Structure 1
Amino acid sequence: MTHQMTLLAKGRYVARIAETAGDLQAAQALRGACFSTDGPDADRFDSLCRHILIEEKASGRLMCCFRMLVLQHAHQIAESYSAQFYDLAALGSVQGGCAEVGRFCIREGVIADPDILRMAWGAITAIVDAENLQLLFGCSSFKGTDVTPYIDSFNLLKARHLAPLPLRPRIKAPMVFGFCDLPCQAPDLRAGMRAMPPLLRTYLLMGGWVSDHAVVDEALNTLHVFTAVEVDAIPETRKRLLRAVAETA
């Protein structure tokens, strides 16, 4: 990797971009553990991405990792990981650069620490500002391929967070769950938010939106939805909070 730099250092944690083959291997090992793959999780997109590591300062232990594929123009979105699963042609009209955030993992067994997620978004914000990006997107994954535990979540996404029609991804994957076809019913908001992946919850709090279907990914044993947030649409108060974290060194 060539993007050698520390992005943030705050409290117990430091966020940095992977510098060595060993850094990448550590991220792939954590991903493999989180996704329950047979060994490290690696694919052809790893060589194209910046890999962000969030480590405990005192021990150097890797607590969280994710990768970012920065695209200078939205019409390059067909080159993304997500484009394997979703027809993203409608997003090619978005003006400006964009970035795909993927393979987001927090170490299993770690006591929930909101500072880890806060550091992750601070690091993302630093890259968004440095590259003047206009759109963040990716696949937000629910564990397992059984939709039953997530019905409230999917009802909530259907009721409040669908992509605008002109930008909505179309079906491409062979196995999908079209949650827009669920019977109309008021979702249990608390249960719905609680069952969502932390990354997806944060996207939604920033005004993000999702596809109208989930992809059944048996290889990673997940259900995932295409998720995006337009940077200009993020509420100003939240932008200030994110930049306050991103500017803390």
Structure 2
Amino acid sequence: MSGDLLDRERVRAAQLSPKGTIVFGASDVLGRIGSLQVRLARNTREIEAAQAVRYRVFVEEMRATLPPMAMRLRRDIDRWDAICDHLLVLDTAIEGDAEDQIVGTYRLLRQDVATLHGGFYSACEFEVETLTGRHPGKRFMELGRSCVLPTYRAKRTVELLWQGNWAYALRHNVDAMFGCGSFPGTAPEMHALALSFLHHVARADPDWQVAARPDQLRDMDMMPVEAISPRRALLALPPLIKGYLRLGAMVGTGAVVDQAFNTTDVLILLPVERIANRYVNYYGADAGRFAS
């Protein structure tokens, strides 16, 4: 899809939405803290800039290997980018255009959009269709490609990303969020303590359980529960996964090794009804905590 056509389709979709519309323009800012603001990408140029931020984090920092075209363009690109909404944190104190100000991003994919365009990204690794099929009356949203530039990895940036996710979920009446949480490296045994902790302590309830695809499943149960120190296990968790758990998230069964991104992935599941009250109160039941 060409850039101009993509822009027109996004604007048209927003205009036709009967409720939960995020209008493109100044009013689409979902939150502010100081010079930082969070909103959705407004055009193809901003999406390309977000892809460049992802490249800096995933390739230059984490040593991911992308397809040749993406490596040549120095942008993390895949087919889902054209159908997702792209949440951005911008530092307006940086001189230049909006695309020069992007310091963090998340990729958001609603179930109704995914259904029309070949499914969720996470379904490449996990049996997501069993989850959505088990809850036909619920609206799901996939969170993915979360990254923040190193100098902005602080509380304010993370708070704004969650402010944006929460505001977007409320506007679209989302019932549950999910996505891959990643450990660095492709050797699950290097994370035996943390993965075993997730398996024994944070595994999803049967009604929300999702397994890794059989041909990719790597066992997370590498240590008996009595050998696990919860304190040490929490310290061993990546910050993003630890943050999900604090919100009330659960974890699916089995990990998947992603050779291209040099990670070991688990599936994170977060029904909105399970989000801890202290976080709902902090961000506001109407996502008004940092609203502009």
TM-score with structure 2 setting the length: 0.77
Gaps of 5+ in 1: none
Equivalent residue for 1:63, pick from 74, 89, 103 = 103
**How far 1:74 sits from its partner (Å)?**
10
Query: Among the aligned pairs, what percent are the same residue?
Result: 26
Equivalent residue for 2:87, pick from 45, 48, 52 = 52
Spell out the pairing of 1:91-106 with structure 2 (5 A cutoff).
91-94=132-135, 95-106=137-148
**How far 1:207 sits from its partner (Å)?**
1.4
Structure 2 Cα separation of the partners of residues 87 and 244 of structure 1 = 31
More helix by share: 2
**How far 1:143 sits from its partner (Å)?**
1.7
Equivalent residue for 2:261, pick from 216, 220, 238 = 220
Is 2:175 the counterpart of 1:140? no
Is 2:147 the counterpart of 1:79? no
Is 2:233 the counterpart of 1:198? no
Q: Which amino acid aligns with 1:6?
A: V
- Give per-residue Cα distances to partners, 1:162-200, cap 9 Å, x unaligned: 011233112316333211254444323333223323222
Q: After alignment, is 39-48 or 198-207 more displaced?
A: 198-207
Is 2:149 the counterpart of 1:107? yes
Structure 2 Cα separation of the partners of residues 96 and 41 of structure 1 = 31
1:9/1:71 Cα in 2 relative to 1: closer, same or farther (>3 Å)? same
SS where residue 170 of structure 1 aligns? coil
- Give per-residue Cα distances to partners, 1:48-74, cap 9 Å, x unaligned: 100011011211532211110012499
Q: Is the 8 A contact 1:145 1:217 kept in 2?
A: yes
Q: What is the aligned length?
A: 248
- Give per-residue Cα distances to partners, 1:73-110, cap 9 Å, x unaligned: 998897111111111213322232111000001113x1
- Give per-residue Cα distances to partners, 1:129-172, cap 9 Å, x unaligned: 11111000001111211224422211220221001123311231
- Give per-residue Cα distances to partners, 1:14-45, cap 9 Å, x unaligned: 11111122111111111112111433111110
Q: Is the 8 A contact 2:29 2:37 kept in 1?
A: yes
SS where residue 269 of structure 2 aligns? strand
Structure 2 Cα separation of the partners of residues 226 and 46 of structure 1 = 20
Match of residue 186 from structure 1: 227
Q: Which runs of 4+ in 1 moved over 3 A?
A: 72-78, 173-176, 181-186
SS where residue 174 of structure 1 aligns? coil
TM-score with structure 1 setting the length: 0.90
Q: Which amino acid aligns with 1:186?
A: A
Equivalent residue for 2:167, pick from 111, 122, 126 = 126
- Give per-residue Cα distances to partners, 1:186-239, cap 9 Å, x unaligned: 323333223323222121112111112111000111111111111011122221
1:74/1:242 Cα in 2 relative to 1: closer, same or farther (>3 Å)? farther
Gaps of 5+ in 2: 1-6, 11-21, 60-64, 66-70, 95-99
Q: Which amino acid aligns with 1:41?
A: D
More strand by share: 1
Q: Is the 8 A contact 1:207 1:229 kept in 2?
A: yes
Structure 2 Cα separation of the partners of residues 16 and 93 of structure 1 = 32
Q: Which amino acid aligns with 1:56?
A: D
Pairwise CA RMSD of aligned residues? 2.4
Q: After alignment, is 111-120 or 41-50 more displaced?
A: 111-120
